[in-house]
Amino acid sequence: MTAIGDFYTGRPTPEIARDLLGHELIYETPAGVMSGWIVETEAYLGEQDTAAHAFNGRHTAANAALYDAPGTIYIYVLRGYYMLNVAAQPQGTPQGILIRGIEPHRGLKLMQIHRDKPVPDVTNGPGKLMAALGIHTKDLNRTLLGAHNLRITPTAERIPRRVTASARIGVSAGSWHDQPLRFTVAGNPFVSASRKRDWDRLQHGWQSNDNLVH
């Protein structure tokens, strides 16, 4: 098992999803490095989860990455947007984590060239963050984090003051629609669908306010 695999196994997927908050997502390109701290994730629990792509053991070429080694990148397209997921649990157990929002750290100007939107709208959603990174293909699908030019730091770079767990966004009504499997940095402006009145404008929900984007 690789160090990446160790992080994405050995404990429940919701716990891993929660722990990813504050880790830095880093994408290296010829035009420059772009990165951001993860502020929002969702856990999907495989065969038992009615909202998961592998519900009832569904296994196709499209979702095969979920069945690969832990730490494998799974990219799919929804309503024209590319979405970034990471496979969790041992190979053959199709659980995953959707990265729903990042707070830009490095390369904000480059992100805004790719996605001409103001802060925080540039990366406050799963499709938005991929567009901001300039990822419009599935070339990295079924590759391990860090094997090429996309990685997530193995440890948290920022520590949330408080983490909120809630129902996932866009999940159809059913036995799993209200499960608290969405994790956010409370008060962070880059959390999707967050309300301005709830934003922590000073520290963005982190324990310290170093290097914040305003």
- End-to-end alpha carbon distance in the chain: 40
In the chain, the DSSP E strands lie at: 24-29, 32-44, 73-78, 81-88, 95-106, 150-152, 163-166, 182-185
> Is the residue at 32 inside a domain?
yes
User: Once rounded to an integer, what is the mean pLDDT over residues 68-84?
Assistant: 97
Q: What is the pLDDT of residues 40-72, one digit of tens each?
A: 999 999 999 999 999 999 999 999 999 999 999
Q: What is the pLDDT of residues 166-195, one digit of tens each?
A: 999 988 877 788 999 999 999 999 999 999
> Is the residue at 33 inside a domain?
yes
> Is the residue at 139 inside a domain?
yes
> Is the residue at 163 inside a domain?
no
Closest among 86, 58, 59 to 142, alpha carbons compared = 86
Range of the domain at 131: 16-157
- pLDDT band for 107, please (50, 70, 90 cuts): very high
Structure tokens at 100: 């729903």
Number of domains comprising the chain: 1
Task: Give the C-alpha separation, 84 to 129, whole Å.
Answer: 9
- pLDDT band for 2, please (50, 70, 90 cuts): low
- CATH number of 65's domain: 3.10.300.10
